[in-house]
Structure 1
């Protein structure tokens, strides 16, 4: 999907943007972000679980981390 008014040659983006920060106090933290096209009928919780799983696959040490911040919003201005 190409976003309207996207920069020429820019990679396609998802319909929503997400940001997730996980932290193990005093040991590790990570903030990751990206875009996502949720499945039809998906809930915000479904997306949260999928995004958290995606991030903890990249950072397995954060599997038991506390969620400090989560945002999931339409990727349209």
Structure 2
């Protein structure tokens, strides 16, 4: 399974921040994988959220899957992943 497919499956479960994607999925460049999902026709929005850090607070991206590409939905129903 590719990192892009891993990210799609994770976003189907709910929104994730850049840090969560790196830590939980081991994806070093989340924005690139989100770009690839968008290129495939998925609707992914980016929200800016504030998270607590050791030094106070920081603003990070949180990605939310709004709608899957029709071709991807059909492939998943048939058990095929891109």
TM-score w.r.t. length of structure 1:
0.23
Which structure has more RCO (C-alpha within 8 Å, separation ≥ 6)?
Answer: 1
Which structure has the greater CA radius of gyration? 1
Query: Which one has the bigger strand percentage?
Result: 1
Q: Which has the higher helix share?
A: 2
Give the TM-score normalised by the residue count of structure 2.
0.22
